[in-house]
């Protein structure tokens, strides 16, 4: 550890007060990242205190791990240093909800569930589909930029964030974007921070584009073999229907009592006006019958449970989780390849977003994981796709770059990192190319 913990603690206590700094061993153990323990946890009460804390870190050369709900801190290469956790959970307020313009400004530490509860009063929501919304924070979701199954219907995290405030490692506070949807003259700096995984600064406030809550929603669940279900997905996506999500999965990743159980299953979600949902269910059922698939309609609690199960897939506790992204037309090829592993030593659980081309693969087999990662990378590369090892034990990560090959524009990323964080204090080593 480079820093002197006592000196760092006394500097932070002088700036933020004693209550903002905690050093109890059990709390530090609960905030370890890939086996590295921090020396203290700092909990600023507002954005100004986040800036003040970062300035102290910069002056004392302390490496910072921003912390929201802690549901996704394992994502990234092995950190070079973990010294201070800056926990933003006290920044958990709604700043403004402009229901007439379908926007909300929230502090970054508010959980998704709390934010949804506030805007539900005006029958509006932010269409993020994340695991564990009771813990996942808006700041963490924006920093992680991981999208859920309704992305094709409502847009990605990047589309739904229209403004933000960020505290930089220097302690400066910057504002990007604004309150209206068309508000950017010049470079759109918001896009830079979405997905930056806490490596450029700490997001303190986010302006979100909201969506009206649908009047009705329901799911058609179908089961069959991989070939039949891939064909079903292809027909749906080529049709005039606009389901909000089309997801294929295998094994115990979801358990709806109404959904028929078999190896492979598919869930097609419809939402909007009641007539629109009925029309989708009717047409989907006819298509499924033509392909001899077994089907069931899930509504209300069964529908909710099914989709919560699909969202929670990354946090089900698999030792390794891969995410493969390929063009839609290549999904079936990728799935066939992964299905072939099933008979050997890997036996993966799989969730595939058939509309966006994103496939999550979870397994408890660690020994062959590095070899599987290499196989997936070359298979995906043939389709101009990409693979990330989203979760793995620290020992496995030691010799791998979990992000796969660095992109061609990596030299620009390095320069951006150098510009924003020249001391390399923000989540050092975690990002693409160990930035
Ligand atoms: C293996 C895995 C796969 C996942 N896949 C998906 C998915 O497909 N779709 C989906 O929607 N969700 C997915 N998630 C969950 C999603 O990433 C979290 O919901 C989201 O990151 C918010 O979690 P959090 O608040 O707990 O963030 P944390 O776990 O606290 O932080 C996540 C990362 O963001 C940084 N960070 C946190 N807050 C801030 C901030 N205010 N400013 C700057 N940086 C910050 C942290 O340093 C850390 O690197 C996945 C999670 C895991 C572990």
Give the length of the chain. Answer: 435
* pLDDT more than 90, % of the chain: 86
3-state secondary structure of 141: helix
Each residue's pLDDT tens digit, 286-310: 999 999 999 999 999 999 999 999 9
The total domain count for the chain is 4
335 belongs to a structural domain: yes
Each residue's pLDDT tens digit, 377-391: 999 999 999 999 999
Residues 66 and 151 in one domain: no
* pLDDT more than 70, % of the chain: 95
Question: Over the chain, what is the mean pLDDT?
Answer: 93
| CA 325/CA 383 separation, integer angstroms | 10
Model confidence band, residue 261 (pLDDT cutoffs 50, 70, 90): very low
Distance 130 CA to ligand 1 centre (A): 9
Residues 55 and 107 in one domain: no
Helix (H) or strand (E) holding 95: strand 94-98
Query: Ligand 1: residues within 6 Å at CB?
Result: 65-76, 88, 108, 128-131, 135-137, 139-141, 143-144, 146-148, 197-198, 202-203, 314-315, 321, 390-391, 427
Residues 248 and 301 in one domain: yes
Model confidence band, residue 338 (pLDDT cutoffs 50, 70, 90): confident
Global pTM value: 0.94
6 CB-contact burial (10 Å; exposed 0-12 / middle 13-18 / buried 19+):
exposed
Residues 296 and 357 in one domain: no
Q: What is the CATH number of the domain that holds 303?
A: 3.30.70.2190
- Atom of ligand 1 at shortest distance to CA of 203? 42
Residues 203 and 235 in one domain: no
Residues 270 and 369 in one domain: no
Model confidence band, residue 343 (pLDDT cutoffs 50, 70, 90): low
Model confidence band, residue 395 (pLDDT cutoffs 50, 70, 90): very high
Of 161 and 407, the one with more pLDDT: 161
Sheet with 21-22, edge to edge strand ranges: 21-22, 40-42, 84-87, 64-67
| CA 247/CA 264 separation, integer angstroms | 11
The answer on pLDDT for 183 being more than 50 is yes
Residues 283 and 354 in one domain: no
Distance 14 CA to ligand 1 centre (A): 31
423 belongs to a structural domain: no
Q: Show which of 311, 328, 343 is a domain's final residue.
A: 311
Q: How many CB atoms lie within 10 A of CB 2?
A: 9
Residues 154 and 174 in one domain: yes
| Residue of the CA atom closest to atom 37 of ligand 1 | 140
Each residue's pLDDT tens digit, 20-51: 999 999 999 999 999 999 999 999 999 999 99
Domain that holds residue 137: 94-212
53 belongs to a structural domain: yes
Residues 306 and 319 in one domain: no
Q: Show which of 163, 181, 212 is a domain's final residue.
A: 212
Residues 113 and 189 in one domain: yes
Q: What is the CATH number of the domain that holds 16?
A: 3.30.43.10
Each residue's pLDDT tens digit, 348-388: 899 999 999 999 999 998 988 999 999 999 999 999 999 99
pLDDT computed for residue 342 by the predictor: 67
Q: What is the CATH number of the domain that holds 318?
A: 3.30.70
Model confidence band, residue 254 (pLDDT cutoffs 50, 70, 90): very low
Distance 85 CA to ligand 1 centre (A): 15
Distance 139 CA to ligand 1 centre (A): 8
pLDDT computed for residue 339 by the predictor: 82
204 belongs to a structural domain: yes
Distance 291 CA to ligand 1 centre (A): 39
Distance 79 CA to ligand 1 centre (A): 16
Query: Which residue shows structure tokens 């950017």?
Result: 184
In SS3 terms, 158-223 reads as: HHHEEEEEEECCCCCEEEEECCCCCCCCCCCHHHHHCCCCCCCCEEEEEEEECEECCCEEEEEEEE
Each residue's pLDDT tens digit, 194-214: 999 999 999 999 999 999 999
Q: Among 178, 73, 68, 77, which residue's Cα sits nearest to residue 134?
A: 68
The region that residue 173 occupies, defined by phi over 0 for left and psi between -120 and 50 for alpha, beta otherwise, is beta
- Atom of ligand 1 at shortest distance to CA of 193? 43
Q: Show which of 311, 343, 363 is a domain's final residue.
A: 311
Residues 28 and 62 in one domain: yes
52 belongs to a structural domain: yes
Residues 165 and 83 in one domain: no
Of 261 and 75, the one with more pLDDT: 75
pLDDT computed for residue 258 by the predictor: 44
Each residue's pLDDT tens digit, 78-122: 999 999 999 999 999 999 999 999 999 999 999 999 999 999 999
242 belongs to a structural domain: yes
Tokens standing for residue 371: 């070899």
402 belongs to a structural domain: no
- Beta bridge partner(s), residue 137: 111
Q: How many CB atoms lie within 10 A of CB 14?
A: 11
Average pLDDT score over residue span 225-240: 95
197 belongs to a structural domain: yes
Average pLDDT score over residue span 220-247: 96
The answer on pLDDT for 324 being more than 70 is yes
| CA 107/CA 142 separation, integer angstroms | 12
């Amino acid at each position: 550890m480079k820093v002197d913990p006592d000196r760092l603690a006394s500097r932070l206590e002088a700036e933020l007060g004693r209550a903002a700094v905690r050093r109890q061993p059990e709390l530090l153990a609960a905030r370890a990242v890939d086996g590295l323990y921090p020396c203290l946890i700092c909990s600023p009460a507002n954005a100004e205190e986040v800036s003040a804390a970062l300035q102290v870190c910069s002056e004392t050369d302390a490496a910072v791990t921003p912390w929201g709900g802690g549901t996704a801190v394992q994502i990234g290469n092995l950190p070079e240093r973990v010294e201070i956790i800056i926990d933003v959970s006290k920044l958990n307020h709604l700043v403004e909800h402009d229901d007439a313009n379908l926007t909300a400004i929230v502090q970054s530490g508010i959980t998704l569930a709390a934010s949804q509860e506030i805007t539900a009063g005006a029958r509006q929501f932010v269409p993020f589909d994340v695991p564990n919304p009771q813990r996942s924070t808006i700041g963490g979701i924006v920093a992680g930029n991981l999208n859920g199954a309704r992305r094709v219907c409502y847009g990605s995290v990047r589309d739904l964030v229209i403004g933000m405030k960020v505290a930089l490692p220097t302690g400066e506070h910057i504002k990007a974007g604004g309150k209206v949807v068309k508000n950017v003259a010049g470079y759109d700096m918001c896009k830079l921070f979405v997905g930056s995984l806490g490596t450029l600064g700490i997001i303190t406030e986010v302006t979100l584009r909201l969506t009206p809550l649908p009047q009705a929603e329901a799911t058609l669940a179908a089961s069959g073999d991989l070939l039949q279900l891939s064909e079903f997905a292809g027909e749906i996506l080529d049709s005039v229907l606009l389901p909000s999500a089309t997801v294929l999965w295998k094994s115990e990743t979801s358990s709806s009592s109404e959904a028929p159980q078999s190896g492979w299953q598919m869930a097609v979600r419809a939402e909007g006006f009641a007539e629109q949902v009925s029309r989708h269910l009717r047409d989907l059922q006819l298509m499924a019958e033509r392909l001899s698939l077994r089907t069931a309609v899930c509504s209300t609690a069964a529908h909710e449970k099914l989709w919560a199960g699909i969202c929670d897939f990354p946090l089900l506790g698999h030792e390794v989780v891969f995410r493969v992204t390929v063009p839609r037309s290549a999904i079936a090829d990728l799935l066939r390849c992964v299905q072939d592993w099933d008979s050997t030593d890997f036996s993966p659980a799989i969730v595939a977003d058939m509309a966006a081309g994103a496939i999550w693969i979870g397994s408890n087999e660690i020994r062959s994981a590095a070899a599987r990662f290499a196989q997936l990378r070359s298979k995906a590369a043939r389709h101009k796709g990409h693979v990330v090892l989203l979760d793995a034990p620290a020992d496995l990560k030691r010799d791998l770059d979990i992000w796969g090959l660095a992109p061609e524009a990596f030299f620009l990323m390095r320069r951006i990192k150098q510009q924003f964080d020249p001391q390399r204090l923000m989540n050092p080593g975690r990002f693409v190319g160990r930035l």
